[in-house]
A and B are shown apart, each in its own frame.
Chain A
Amino acid sequence: MRKSGAPSLLISLFVLCGVLLSACGGSTPSTNTNGGGSTTAPKSVTLVTDIGGLNDQSFNQSANVGYMKAQGELKFRRQVIESKSQNDYVSNLTRAAQTSDMVIGVGFLMATAMDQVAKANPTKSFALIDSCATDAKGNCDSLKNVAPLFFKEQQAGCLAGVVAGQMEKLGKAKSSKLLGNNTIAAIGGLAIPPVDHYIAGYQYCAKKVDPAVTVKVNYSQSFDNTAKCQDIANNQISTAKADVIFQVAGGCGVGALQAAKAKGVYSIGVDSDQSHVNDSVIASAIKRVDQAVYLTVKDFEAGKFSATPAPFDLTNDGVGLAGLSATVPAEVKPVVDKYIADIKSGAITVPDAVQK
């Protein structure tokens, strides 16, 4: 077998090429790849997702929803590239930058890759969700063509805190599943800025509504291990008698929601409306990645690209509270609305650092 290597391999190579070429021979590609050149055509925008795929029930999906909304309105060519591995970020971003005018990257893990690609393609515009472009020293690189899309998660966290605090204040008479120890809890994935913003807001506003409440905060050190968050939540419920669990740990946190259901207490979801997980979820603190993507693309098409966009918050629907369940006492809603108005008007400034 080995002796015959060269000739047979040569033949095989030819055959392989032949097979492949005959497969595509005479084909007329169905999609239309032109579109550049004419001045009236909208500028093209490419979305590069993180790993996990477009239907990840999380940021990728949300970003795609915003992207599709903008695409439907502005009629540019749809181009979405799903990253299969973190090693593909640079090649995917490069490919996107070469074929379109703006590239939107989903996820803070792309920070350094984005920096390198944006520097190599200075004429193209970039936007990055949840992070700034990061240089080799780990510092934010203020490039003129990269827009970091930040959120004021603390405002969404605050509204979740208001719900939890108000329920504790109303007590067992209004919400039968409370354990009566006046304690609520939060589970964070890792102590990274977006997570801490949520928890800080939750802590601050729960205490503002009900100064007597205790807020227990734990970190699971994971965003995907469901069992870990389930353990932590069980522990918070059994030993600390916490009865509202706010999860800020992505896929891991789903375990916390399940634990709350199993133990018969309340829970609050994060990032998107998680009321579909089970009926223990009374509300979700949401981060509207779709809104951020939509607004950014719209601004870009209107020629208003800014490398330092304002963080997305309650005033532009960038964050919010969703899926307030019917099990929440009617007295809670007006308080939430008051806080929304106060935050929008600037009467309340929510801090973004967790109190230890």
Chain B
Amino acid sequence: MASPTVQRRTSAPASQLARWMQKFRAALGRPLIAVLVAFVLGGIIIMITTPGPLDNRFITAVSTYYYLIAGSFGSLQSISYTLAKATPLIFAGLAVAIAYRAGLFNIGAAGQLTVGSMVAGIIGIQLAALPGWLLVPLMLLGSMVAGGIWGGIVGVLKAWRGAHEVVTSIMLNWTAFYVCAFLVEGPFQAPKLSQQTLPMAPQATIPSLAILYNQTLGTFLPQIPDPAQYTVDAGLLIAFVAMLVYWFITARTTFGYELRVIGQNPKAARYAGISVRKNIVMVMFMAGAFAGLAGAVRLMGQAPYQLISSAFSTDSTGFDAIGVALLGRTTSIGVLLASLLFGGLQQAGPYLQSYVDVPGDIITIMQALVLFSIAIEYLPSLQRFMPSFLVKSSRPPLVPSLITTKPAEEKGEADMQAVESGHRATSDTVEKTGLKPTSSGQEE
């Protein structure tokens, strides 16, 4: 209605390379800077905590990073361990990411994961007589439904009672930990062991990827020698399918579009005729289903294939998933890369302890630093402090949004328009009603 008074800038950069650079910066600048800063800070912390003269400390810090890479991606076996650690993180990361798309902060992935693994475990123990081709899908499905219901509770409470999802999901986490610990220590306790169930029957497990390959493609392609040393399981393939499903849901369906709208502005979404309640419950159910799968795949894919009651509350996957989702900027590929980073860090922990004399806690510190760096958002603040001729067009908004559908400057322009038209509207009313100019009018 109101014509823009601000001069429209051409946002398309001149060359292909420059456009690539801009897109690259938009998509990955912040996560990369966050990781980089975390690693530099981590190095400083290692240097502070290790004994010896300064140059020794420096060598320790450098060799820590050397072994960090050697331990996580240095050999085929290390890579397989890293992938095995990353698999549940991918599922759990998607669980946090999909809720984040709708503006919900799903802290409850840990609880949903616990419930999922418990239900998969119960099915695996009770129906162990079933053949594997039926049992494995049944366990996966059971974990999805159970995790989904656990997440759905959060959604229902949010949609109909307005209870904040952070509060309810944290509370449900502990409910899940304790209920499942009770189940493991009570009805499903192994006869001669304490605080743990019996391991799952072999047909209730997901085979290792290397063994699966040898049995299928390996019959006519070269075999993998000694497949038992590569621990990564076929759950990784399921994780890829989940990533594909996630991408399809969020990018190619009306539901995904509605989620984004709700995430950016629930009031506008309701005004546009989107059923916010239904979508919130749906998205929390899906988040729970992803998290439940994380638990089931972890239980069925990795030794010792059993549930341990005290592991529920100490397993950090559900919480690491928050970092994974944020670092991955809630995209499929981003979640994969962030999972590989976190999985690699965790995998390298024991390796570091063996080869460099640094405590294993340094890994936890690094993860925390990555999270911290994401939260701080160095890049936008740096840009804001840069002199204006250096930044030119891409001055970021003061309140950064993780999910931007438009480039930042267009959005800023739209805001300017809105402000402009708002001002016009007020001055119009002032004129019409003949009242004295109020404070807003005086600005004109």
Residues of A within 8 A of B (CB): 1-2, 4-5, 7-9, 11-13, 15-16, 19-21, 23-24, 27-31, 33, 46, 51, 53-54, 78-82, 84-92, 94-96, 99, 108-109, 111-113, 116, 120, 134, 136-140, 190, 192, 221
Report the interface size class on chain B.
35 or more
Please give, as numbers and ranges, the residues of chain B lying within 8 Å of A15 by CB-CB distance: 32
Interface string of B148-186 (1 = CB under 8 A from A): 000000000000000000000000000000000000010
B27 touches A8 (CB 8 A): yes
Please give, as numbers and ranges, the residues of chain B lying within 8 Å of A11 by CB-CB distance: 20, 24, 28
Please give, as numbers and ranges, the residues of chain B lying within 8 Å of A108 by CB-CB distance: 193-194
Please give, as numbers and ranges, the residues of chain A lying within 8 Å of B354 by CB-CB distance: 46, 79, 81, 95-96, 99
Q: How far is the CA of A188 from the CA of B43 in the complex (A)?
A: 44
Cβ of B106 under 8 Å from chain A: no
Please give, as numbers and ranges, the residues of chain B lying within 8 Å of A87 by CB-CB distance: 298, 302, 311, 315
B331 touches A5 (CB 8 A): yes
Residues of B within 8 A of A (CB): 20, 23-24, 26-28, 32, 35-36, 39, 43, 56, 59-60, 62-63, 65-67, 69, 81, 84, 185, 190-196, 198-199, 201, 228, 231, 251, 298, 302-304, 306, 308, 310-311, 314-316, 329, 331, 333, 337, 346-347, 349-351, 353-357, 359-361, 363-364, 404-405
Selected contact of B353 from candidates A4, A24, A80, CB within 8 Å: A80
21 contacts between A and B (CB under 8 A): A4-B24, A9-B337, A13-B337, A19-B36, A24-B69, A27-B63, A28-B59, A29-B66, A31-B356, A51-B314, A54-B359, A84-B346, A84-B364, A87-B311, A90-B231, A90-B304, A112-B193, A120-B228, A134-B193, A136-B201, A192-B194
B65 touches A23 (CB 8 A): yes
Q: How far is the CA of A17 from the CA of B171 in the complex (A)?
A: 40
B199 touches A112 (CB 8 A): yes
- With A30-B59, A91-B231, A112-B196 already in contact, the answer to whether A86 and B310 are too (CB < 8 A) is yes
Closest chain-A Cβ to B193's Cβ sits at a distance in Å of 5
Closest chain-A Cβ to B228's Cβ sits at a distance in Å of 6
Closest chain-A Cβ to B379's Cβ sits at a distance in Å of 14
Please give, as numbers and ranges, the residues of chain A lying within 8 Å of B192 by CB-CB distance: 134, 138-140
Interface centre among B36, B306, B357 (most CB of A within 10 A): B306
Please give, as numbers and ranges, the residues of chain B lying within 8 Å of A137 by CB-CB distance: 198
A2 touches B251 (CB 8 A): yes
Please give, as numbers and ranges, the residues of chain B lying within 8 Å of A85 by CB-CB distance: 311, 314-316
Q: How far is the CA of A15 from the CA of B35 in the complex (A)?
A: 12
Selected contact of B27 from candidates A5, A86, A136, CB within 8 Å: A5
Please give, as numbers and ranges, the residues of chain B lying within 8 Å of A21 by CB-CB distance: 69
B194 touches A27 (CB 8 A): no
Please give, as numbers and ranges, the residues of chain B lying within 8 Å of A9 by CB-CB distance: 27-28, 333, 337
Interface centre among A88, A108, A120, A190 (most CB of B within 10 A): A88
Not counting A12-B27, A112-B304, A139-B192, a sample of 7 additional A-B residue pairs whose C-beta atoms are within 8 angstroms of each other reads A46-B354, A53-B361, A84-B316, A90-B231, A120-B228, A136-B199, A192-B194
Please give, as numbers and ranges, the residues of chain B lying within 8 Å of A111 by CB-CB distance: 193, 196
Please give, as numbers and ranges, the residues of chain B lying within 8 Å of A221 by CB-CB distance: 185
B191 touches A138 (CB 8 A): yes
- With A30-B59, A31-B63, A89-B304 already in contact, the answer to whether A1 and B26 are too (CB < 8 A) is yes
Please give, as numbers and ranges, the residues of chain B lying within 8 Å of A136 by CB-CB distance: 198-199, 201
Selected contact of A138 from candidates B193, B337, B356, CB within 8 Å: B193
Q: How far is the CA of A99 from the CA of B59 in the complex (A)?
A: 23
Closest chain-B Cβ to A59's Cβ sits at a distance in Å of 14
- With A112-B199, A138-B191 already in contact, the answer to whether A91 and B350 are too (CB < 8 A) is yes
B26 touches A86 (CB 8 A): no
Please give, as numbers and ranges, the residues of chain B lying within 8 Å of A138 by CB-CB distance: 190-193, 198
